[in-house]
């Protein structure tokens, strides 16, 4: 949901993230590229490398390549959205300039452990928090640089923009800046129209519509090279404070309802990912509720059931990064069995504020149905 901002009630965007110094860009991809450009300049390795999780958004690769570094993939830990720490330690070398951790679906990466692994090396730890948006008081911003996205489907969505929060003054100074981009009134009213359309289409009951309109590009995972670091549109950034405060106030009752539903309806062929990560109900806000469905037929049926009822289930990214269209040439021969298995089993459920009680009941129905189908199929 996007709330068109009002200049009169908007506090300065910079103040929102105090004590972190915030730099705004046209997208999280640009923001990530800016932090990587700074990391490459800081370590001056002859052939700089950046370590990334093998499952995730292809924009990570675009940002690394833009910064003139080589992306090196780290496989996931089994049944977790986290990078495998042994694999990470083994990949560290004199050319490593940065490690990018991702708070996938809003589940926090294990930054203290990554920090331990890179201690004393000068390697820059970048926290890609595009899918998570905790308030500063939560003490969950742990990277040297923290990247935020205000793009489509993010916790704070303006359909435009991203930011880098720098932990220290020196890190903030190292970021490349681009001049602010000023859009015309016409472009801005176009954005307002898109915002209205986006709000309308994010209703759970209308999910069939965006899925049926390919030009909206929803659910599509493609590699797009980054041509330049784009600046944020300052007029759209006026909308940021009210949307950020709304995000921080948002209720987590949908994710709590799904947590309860999984505990009593899912069965042992489904891994409740947030629960598996923290051993109980997640205290953090999820962007979407991720589960791993171990049986491919049950997963297919679950997708069918949820899709048929317009419940907005999605696989997020349908393959690990080496399988993403356009990325094959960068990762030929790279093996990441855990990320592949994760991609084959992942299903994510919507938790946004337009998901109604009735939608939750239907989700429960699909989970129960999938479990029954599995019994009938004799698994
Ligand atoms: C983890 C992550 N990082 C970066 C990005 C890129 O964000 P943007 O679309 O704002 O460039 C995304 C987009 O989905 C993402 O999920």
Q: CA 50, CA 52: separation in Å to the nearest integer? A: 6
In a domain, 197, yes or no: no
Which range among 74-88, 332-346, 360-374 shows the weakest confidence by mean pLDDT? 360-374
Atom of ligand 1 lying closest to residue 32 CA:
4
CA of 265 to the centre of ligand 1 (A): 32
291: domain range?
253-374
For 365-370, which contacts have Cβ atoms below 8 Å and span 24 or more sequence positions?
365/305, 366/302, 366/305, 366/306, 366/309, 366/311, 367/261, 367/262, 367/265, 367/266, 367/270, 367/302, 368/265, 369/301, 369/305, 370/267, 370/293, 370/298, 370/301, 370/302, 370/305
152 pLDDT band (50/70/90 cuts)? confident
Inform me whether the pLDDT recorded for 45 exceeds 80: yes
Q: Is the CB of 128 under 6 A from ligand 1?
A: yes
Which range among 50-64, 100-114, 227-241 shows the weakest confidence by mean pLDDT? 227-241
Give 90-134 as a DSSP string. HH--TTEEEEEEE-GGGPPP-HHHHHHHTTTS-PEEEEE-TT---
Q: What is the mean pLDDT of residues 267-271?
A: 85
Residue 370: the pLDDT is: 81
How many domains is the chain built from?
1
Residue 214: the pLDDT is: 45
Q: CA 177, CA 149: separation in Å to the nearest integer? A: 17
CA of 151 to the centre of ligand 1 (A): 7
Q: What is the mean pLDDT of residues 91-114?
A: 98
pTM over 0.95: no
Q: Is the CB of 103 under 6 A from ligand 1?
A: no
Residue 256: the pLDDT is: 96
Can you give 162-180 as a three-state secondary structure string? EEEEECCHHHHHCCCCCCC
In a domain, 240, yes or no: no
Q: What is the mean pLDDT of residues 105-109?
A: 97
In a domain, 149, yes or no: no
In a domain, 115, yes or no: no
266 pLDDT band (50/70/90 cuts)? confident
In a domain, 268, yes or no: yes
In a domain, 119, yes or no: no
Q: Rg for the chain (alpha carbons), in Å?
A: 20
CA of 310 to the centre of ligand 1 (A): 25
Inform me whether the pLDDT recorded for 210 exceeds 90: no
Q: Is the CB of 127 under 6 A from ligand 1?
A: no
User: 150 by DSSP, 3-state: which?
Assistant: coil
Inform me whether the pLDDT recorded for 208 exceeds 60: no
Residue 308: the pLDDT is: 86
7 pLDDT band (50/70/90 cuts)? very low
First to last CA, the chain: 41
pLDDT tens-digit profile of 172-190? 999 998 666 655 555 666 7
Q: What is the mean pLDDT of residues 361-366?
A: 93
Among protein residues, the one with the nearest Cα to ligand 1's atom 14 is: 57
167 pLDDT band (50/70/90 cuts)? confident
Q: Enter the tokens of residue 6.
A: 């009002």
Residue 267: the pLDDT is: 73
In a domain, 294, yes or no: yes
138 CB neighbour count, 10 Å cutoff: 14
CA of 120 to the centre of ligand 1 (A): 29
We report the CATH number of the domain holding residue 354 as 3.90.1150.10
In a domain, 212, yes or no: no
Bridge partner residues of 124 (DSSP): 98
Q: What is the mean pLDDT of residues 71-77?
A: 98
């Amino acid at each position: 949901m996007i709330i068109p901002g009002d200049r009169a009630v908007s506090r300065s965007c910079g103040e929102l993230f105090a004590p972190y110094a915030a730099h705004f860009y046209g997208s999280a991809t640009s923001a990530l590229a800016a932090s990587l450009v700074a990391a490459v300049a800081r370590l001056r390795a002859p052939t700089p490398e950046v370590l990334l999780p093998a499952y995730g958004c292809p924009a990570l690769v675009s940002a690394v390549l833009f910064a003139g570094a080589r992306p090196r993939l780290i496989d996931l830990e089994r049944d977790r959205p986290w990078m495998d720490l042994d694999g990470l330690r083994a990949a560290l070398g004199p050319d490593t300039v940065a490690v990018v951790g991702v708070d996938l679906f809003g589940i926090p990466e294990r930054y203290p452990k990554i920090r331990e692994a890179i201690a004393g090396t000068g390697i820059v730890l970048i926290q890609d928090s595009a899918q998570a948006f905790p308030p500063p008081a939560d003490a969950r911003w742990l990277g040297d640089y923290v990247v935020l996205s205000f793009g489509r489907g993010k916790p704070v969505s303006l359909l435009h923009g991203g930011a880098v929060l720098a932990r220290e003054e020196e890190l903030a100074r190292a970021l490349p800046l681009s001049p602010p981009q000023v859009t015309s009134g016409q472009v801005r009213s176009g954005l307002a129209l898109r915002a209205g359309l986006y709000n309308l289409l994010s209703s759970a009951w209308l999910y069939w519509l965006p899925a049926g309109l390919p030009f909206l590009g929803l659910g599509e995972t493609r590699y797009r090279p980054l041509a330049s670091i784009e600046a944020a549109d300052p007029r759209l950034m006026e909308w940021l404070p009210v949307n950020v405060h709304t995000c921080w106030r948002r209720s987590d009752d949908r994710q709590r309802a799904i947590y309860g539903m999984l505990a009593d309806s899912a069965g042992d062929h489904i891994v409740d990912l947030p629960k598996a990560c923290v051993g109980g109900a997640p205290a953090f806000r999820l962007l979407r509720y991720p589960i791993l469905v171990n049986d491919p037929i049950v997963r297919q049926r679950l997708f069918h059931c949820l899709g048929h009822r317009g419940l907005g289930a999605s696989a997020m990214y349908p393959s690990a990064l080496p399988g993403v269209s356009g990325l094959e040439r960068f990762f030929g021969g790279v093996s990441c069995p855990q990320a592949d298995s994760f991609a084959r089993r992942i299903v994510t459920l919507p938790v946004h504020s337009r998901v109604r009680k009735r939608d939750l009941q239907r989700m429960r129905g699909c989970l129960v149905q999938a479990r029954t189908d599995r019994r009938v199929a004799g698994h």
